[in-house]
Amino acid sequence: MNIELKNSTAEKNSSLRKSKKITSLIGGSKSDIRRFRESAKKMHVHLNCISNVHYVMNGEEETSLYIQENKDIEETLIIGYEDYLPMIRSTHNMAIKADLMALSSNNILCTSNHIAVNRCANKIITQAVVGRNKNIRYPKAIILKRGIELSDIQELIEKHFKNLEYFILQLPYGSQGKTTFLAANPREIHLLLQLSPLIIVKEFIDTKIDNKVSSVRLFFVDAEFVAGFKAYGFDHTSNVSKHHNAEPFMNPPQELLDMSDEVMKELKCYDVAGIDFIQSVETGKWYFLEANSNPGFGIADITGVDVPGKIIDFSLRNGLSDKAKKLRDA
């Protein structure tokens, strides 16, 4: 069933501030949808889950958005455009990115804006954008293209990296550590370039204590820190999505909060973001790894913080905080 929703106005959007009804564009996992539903129920918010925005853009006519109900999600009820405020939960899909562009052009606040999605999803763009900010410390990285000779790779590694024992290899796209690899010599780098036209080679930062490596994720909603966790594992990707052990990290040092502000400013992920860091066991220094504009909700189980509820509350406010606006406009 298709339901046509007419173009919004600032006056219509303002009614959302008093509304307790949200229509959510969700393309994420079933567990994410379940968490959203549970949080909405506790907050007495009527949450409608839909997917697949079909849109027609015409400069001479009023723009319309067509919402296609997802048969796999129960209780899909469209309640009207003035109550329509999407919460995007899947940003790796090209169709979802197009949806974001269409919604943004209609002056609709999305909890994952399209600029952040593009800058966070492509790790090469992330590297290029944060690289211009001297207040963000990150592992030294080299972007290599297919066709480079093995001897040239060796020369670049020896010239720029201090640690020549291991290297971190990362493909431009990917999530949950699935496209991040550990290499022990330049031949492995050269081999991966046969499979991908571009790769990022990062200097290895040792985080291992008691034979476990670790990383930290800080979760932000509307540019404010809401929760954090520290994940432990036995390989270089201590990603909580891989079911490694994790514990709450609710009092991050000010250095990480300040660096996170700089990351949100550069990547424009001021609405919802999960920002990852590692700490060198050798120097004690913190390094930025990556930012996620669509972070998973496993953090809610680890910390006990109702992160989906925080996002719902942000959506109901239908506007950015002064801090988020400052990061957006910087």
Domains and CATH numbers, the chain: 2-110 (no CATH), 120-124+208-329 (3.30.470.20), 140-203 (3.30.1490.20)
Give the CA diameter of the chain: 65
**Residue 65: what are its φ and ψ, rounded to 5°?**
-115, 135
Q: Answer for the pair 144, 197: CB distance below 8 angstroms, yes or no.
A: no
Residues in Cβ contact with 72 at an 8 Å cutoff, skipping those fewer than 6 apart: none
Alpha carbon dihedral 204, 205, 210, 211, in 10-degree steps, equals -10
Angle at CA of residue 320, ends 32 and 226, nearest 5°: 50
Angle at CA of residue 268, ends 262 and 274, nearest 5°: 75
The confidence score (pLDDT) of residue 74 equals 35
Q: Answer for the pair 262, 136: CB distance below 8 angstroms, yes or no.
A: yes
Q: Which of 129, 325, 107 is nearest to 222 (CA)?
A: 325
Q: Which of 136, 49, 52 is nearest to 99 (CA)?
A: 52
For residue 88, which amino acid is it? I
State how far the Cα of 66 lies from the Cα of 2, in Å rounded to an integer. 6
Q: Answer for the pair 168, 180: CB distance below 8 angstroms, yes or no.
A: yes
Angle at CA of residue 186, ends 185 and 189, nearest 5°: 110
C-alpha 125 chain-centroid distance: 14
- Output the tens digit of pLDDT for each of the chain's 330 residues: 333 333 333 333 433 334 455 555 555 566 777 787 788 888 887 776 655 544 444 444 444 444 444 444 333 333 233 333 444 444 455 666 666 776 666 666 677 788 888 898 888 899 999 999 999 999 999 999 999 999 999 999 999 988 888 889 988 877 666 788 888 899 999 999 988 888 999 999 988 877 777 889 999 999 999 999 998 876 665 555 554 688 999 999 999 999 999 999 999 999 999 999 999 999 999 999 999 888 878 888 899 999 988 988 887 777 789 999 999 998
State how far the Cα of 86 lies from the Cα of 255, in Å rounded to an integer. 33
In the numeric block, which tokens belong to residue 35?
């968490």
β-partners of residue 198 are 145
Helix, strand, coil in percent for the chain, rounding step 5: 35, 25, 40
Exposed e or buried b for every residue in 113-126, given b needs 16+ CB within 10 A? bbbbbbbbbebbeb
The confidence score (pLDDT) of residue 101 equals 72
Q: Going edge to edge, which strands form the sheet with 53-56?
A: 2-6, 64-68, 53-56
State how far the Cα of 64 lies from the Cα of 76, in Å rounded to an integer. 19
State how far the Cα of 131 lies from the Cα of 65, in Å rounded to an integer. 38
